[in-house]
Structure 1
Amino acid sequence: MRQSLTYLLFASLVLFGHAVAAEEILLTNGEWAPYLGQQLPHNGVASRIVSEAFALEGVQVKWEFLPWARALHLAEQGQRAGTAVWLRSPERDTQFYVSTEVVSSGYSLFHRKGETLNWQRVADLRGLRIGGINGYDYGADFQRAEQSGELKVVRLPSEEQGLRMLLANRLDLFPIDPVVAMDLLHSHFSAAERARLTYAPKPLRSDSLHLLLSRKVAGNDALMVRFNRGLASLRASGRVAQYLMETRQSLSMTQ
């Protein structure tokens, strides 16, 4: 009898261990402070939101930080369960289950203080020296104007370089997410440099960013339902708004 009980206890522990393991998910991620980052608290505010939404559904997230192209490719091929966080597109809708919005992001036009920028249409930006990041899409109107030559855009390898060229009067405008810009300015620039920059209130582009779960991984459709449910609960609790507000309050152009 004792041997039978011992066996049953062992079998239960093994089965329980498998159940716990099945509730872990491996997601790819990248570096985009303060939203995402391996060395950031909670791996960044967007990672925190994803992890806590899953936790409300009993799922533990394991993050793997990779270059962006590889992070997306591994998830697309089903070698990882999914990846965070990304713009939605028709192509991605065919490759992934796409969550509801995790965070919103957008590009604003940064410029030097004291230089007026009143713009309503992309055509209003003609004649200005504009920066941009290699591979970034700043919206259909901007992309068309750049391709046609209506706008002269200098594509750069990093957002830090764009801000430095703006400060050095080598650019007139540089589009960047304001929260990302503030994080960069705090990390790599002086208070005096931060005080020299501002941005236009009208965004160049506004987007929602999403968790993507691969359609090649069995069970991901049901897992996405659970994630969206957890995310809705987290948002309803006020914690999503709290985390985003805390992130923005920790960064200021003038601090």
Structure 2
Amino acid sequence: MKQLVVSLAVLFALALHARADTFHFAIDDFPPFVDRQADGFGIGPRIVTAALASQSHQARYHFVPWPRAYRMAMEGQIDGTFPWTNQGDRHEQFLLSAPVFEHRFSLVFAPGQARPWQDFDDLDGLRFGTVAGYAIAIDFYQWIEQTGQSLEEVNSESLLFRMLAYNRFDVAAFDQLAARAYINALQDDVPLVTDLVIEDRAIETSNTVVLMPLGSERSQRLQAILAAGLAAIRADGTYDAIVSGD
């Protein structure tokens, strides 16, 4: 009987191993959430890796420019890409995971441009900036478009902060933690970046998710695995430890 129990345990372990999978994700730097220089590639990959590991799966990460990562997921060339907000029409273009973490978006003002304001109309006449392809702070950027404000798109987050530092435009919306990370990274090269003002007030909060190809059984499987894994690491304290930097 003991030998039978051992044999069943071995078979069960082998079955688990047979079902184990490696999922591939396209990502790019967006510190502190994704950072190729950081332990585990930053907060986001550490969360996803831990969630998958809790379900006996592995993650592999491929650093490519964000537009390419987005396209790869849309075209089914990769299992997923993150972190992206779950805003706009993304639910029509991708299968979305359970929330991975939350973004808090605030206004970042160029040197000398910070001012008190109650609603967006109080910002009328300022020059606004954003990163091409971003779908964040939807109400804010809709107001900019609807009221005909000056809006300049740039190709990277680093360039956005450089141009803010040199007063090429006056204000942009950005995640609070990420804004501080970019300022820290750029301050030696662009000392004026330390004069930027990040408001404590959040103009929007948004969950970030993994975008996965539509119409794929593998995507549906990954969606279920991530949901179970994220719930597991929240329950056992792993999630909080990663977010807090432990």
TM-score (norm 2): 0.80
**By how many angstroms is 1:61 displaced?**
0.7
Q: 1:81, 1:217 within 8 Å by CA — same for their partners in 2?
A: no
Where 2:23 maps in the other structure, the secondary structure is strand
What is the rounded CA distance, in whole Å, between the counterparts of 1:241 and 1:38 in structure 2? 21
Q: Is the 8 A contact 1:163 1:174 kept in 2?
A: no
Q: Which structure has the larger Rg?
A: 1
Q: Deviations over 1:145-186 (max 9, x none)?
A: 332444222322333333333333443323221211211122
The letter for the 1-side match of 2:27 is N
The residue correspondences of 1:53-64 to structure 2 (distance < 5 A) are 53-64=51-62
**Residue 129 of structure 1: how far off its partner (Å):** 2.8
SS at 1:240 equivalent? helix
Inter-partner Cα distance in structure 2 for 1:91 and 1:195? 36
The 1:95/1:19 distance shift into structure 2, 3 A limit, reads farther
The residue that corresponds to 1:209 in the other structure is: 208
CA distance in 2, matches of 1:38, 1:202: 29
Q: CA deviation at 1:112?
A: 5.4
Residue 78 of structure 2: aligned partner: 80
Q: Which residue does the alignment assign to 2:48?
A: 50
Q: For residues 70-149 of structure 1, what are the structure 2 equivalents within 5 Å?
A: 70-89=68-87, 91-111=89-109, 116-149=114-147
Distance 1:117 1:52, change over 3 A: same
Q: Quote how far apart the aligned CAs of 1:22 are.
A: 4.9
Aligned-residue offset at 1:213: 2.8
Deviation at 1:229, TM superposition (A): 1.3
Match of 2:152 in 1: 154
- Partners of 2:227 and 2:50 in 1: CA distance: 12
CA gap of 1:44–1:151, structure 2 versus 1, over 3 A, is same
Range that drifts further, 81-90 or 48-57: 81-90
SS in 2 for 1:246: coil
Aligned residues of 2:95 and 2:211 also touching (Cα < 8 A): yes
Gaps of 5+ in 1: 1-11, 248-255
Spell out, residue by residue over 1:33-62, the C-alpha distance to the aligned partner (whole angstroms, 9 max, x if none). Answer: 221133332112101100110100000111
Root-mean-square deviation (Å): 3.1
- Name the structure 1 match of 2:222: 223
> Counterpart in 1 of 2:173?
175
Give yes or no for contact 2:87–2:135 (8 Å, CA) kept in 1: no
Give the letter for the 1:109 counterpart: L
Contact 1:130–1:171 under 8 Å retained in 2: yes
User: Do 1:122 and 1:141's aligned partners in 2 also have CA atoms closer than 8 Å?
Assistant: no
- 1:102 partner amino acid: V
Letter aligned with residue 134 of structure 1 = A
- Which residues of 2 match residues 231-242 of structure 1 at below 5 A? 231-242=230-241
1:23 counterpart residue number? 21
Q: How far apart, CA to CA, are the structure 1 residues paired with 2:163 and 2:214? A: 42
CA contact (8 A) 2:137 2:173 kept: no
Deviations 1:99-152 (A, max 9, x none): 221011133112257765222322121022322222323434333333244422
TM-score by length of 1: 0.77
Larger displacement relative to structure 2 (174-183 or 185-194): 185-194
Q: 1:163 to 1:83 in 2, by over 3 A?
A: closer
Q: Which residue is equivalent to 1:244? A: 243
The percentage of counterpart residues that share the same residue type is 26
The answer for unaligned runs of 5 or more in structure 2 is 1-9
The amino acid that maps onto 1:110 is V
CA apart distance, 1:219:
3.8
